[in-house]
Amino acid sequence: MAATTRLISRLAVVTGGGSGIGRAVCQRLASEGATVVVADLNEDSANQTLRILTHDLKGQDHMAAAVDVSSKESVEKLVTSIQCRYFQPPSVCVNAAGITQDDFLLKMEEADFDKVIRVNLKGSFLFTQAVSKALVACGAPKGSIITVGSIVGKVGNIGQANYSASKAGVEGLTRTAAKELSRFGIRCNCVLPGFISTPMTDKVPEKVISKITSMVPLGRMGDPAEVADVCAFLASDDSRYITGVSIEVTGGLFIG
């Protein structure tokens, strides 16, 4: 449940907001009073999330936008259009856009490696950079940038050399950004989901799902809303003394 209105008057942009964890983050931030820009490569999905927000929470001026996070031009264009519409840059940025192109290391195509790094890692860099630049330029007193990593970035996963490398990369990016941007009042943190029920996992066979859940101490897959809860905490002043950290949302998977 939403904790009152601790994000009232905040402007947030969420990449990958068209589905899964990104959509859940949009809903959670909006429920706490934030105005949300739903950004996704798939404009139809972004508009679908926007319809959910406007249906659930009338009276807030949310917007949906198409963006290719791997393109500097596309990212900068979106940040500029947000500033034109709202007369301010977003003070909350959630990098939730991500893709997988799984295969065994010995078989993985170079193009599939590059594509995942481009979206997951470079996309997080471009958005972090563009939002930070806009916040610094206008002298905003604070900002919170949250990147959705993965527990796989810490422990690796068979068939996911590209994905785990990209998610390990966003943790390094986040820690460095936290060190550089703290003097401008901008906090940068990572959320590391474990096995979460999303459109990405819907394709996984049932017997694989039950094997996975047997490894989770809490005995079940996570829900996107449970990741969104942590993102809302990191976006709010409740986490004002927290920067440069990674918070695992895994049901206890790989404890220690």
What is the pLDDT, as a whole number, of residue 255? 82
From 179, 170, 180, 165, select the one nearest 124 (Cα to Cα): 170
Residue 255 domain-assigned (yes or no): no
Residue 151 domain-assigned (yes or no): yes
Residue 93 domain-assigned (yes or no): yes
Residue 5 domain-assigned (yes or no): no
209: left (phi over 0), alpha (psi -120 to 50) or beta: alpha
What is the pLDDT, as a whole number, of residue 38? 98
What is the pLDDT, as a whole number, of residue 228? 98
What is the pLDDT, as a whole number, of residue 75? 98
Residue 63 domain-assigned (yes or no): yes
Residue 227 domain-assigned (yes or no): yes
Q: What is the pLDDT of residues 126-176, one digit of tens each?
A: 999 999 999 999 999 999 999 999 999 999 999 999 999 999 999 999 999
So which residues are the catalytic ones? Answer: 163
What is the pLDDT, as a whole number, of residue 254? 87
Render 190-239 in DSSP notation, one character per residue: EEEE-SB-STTTTTS-HHHHHHHHHHSTT-S-B-HHHHHHHHHHHHSGGG
CA angle in degrees (0–180, nearest 5) for 244-82-163:
45
Residue 172 domain-assigned (yes or no): yes
Here the CATH number for the domain that contains residue 27 is 3.40.50.720
What is the pLDDT, as a whole number, of residue 203? 79
Percent of the chain with pLDDT over 90: 89
The domain tally of the chain equals 1
Low-confidence residues of the chain: pLDDT under 70: 1-4, 58-59, 256
Q: What is the pTM of this model?
A: 0.95
- Terminal-residue alpha carbon distance, the chain: 29
Structural domain range at position 236: 11-249
Residue 3 domain-assigned (yes or no): no
From 145, 140, 135, 130, select the one nearest 175 (Cα to Cα): 145
Q: What is the pLDDT of residues 56-65, one digit of tens each?
A: 776 689 999 9
**SS in 3 state form for 8-71?**
CCCEEEEECCCCHHHHHHHHHHHHCCCEEEEEECCHHHHHHHHHHHHHHCCCCCCEEEECCCCC
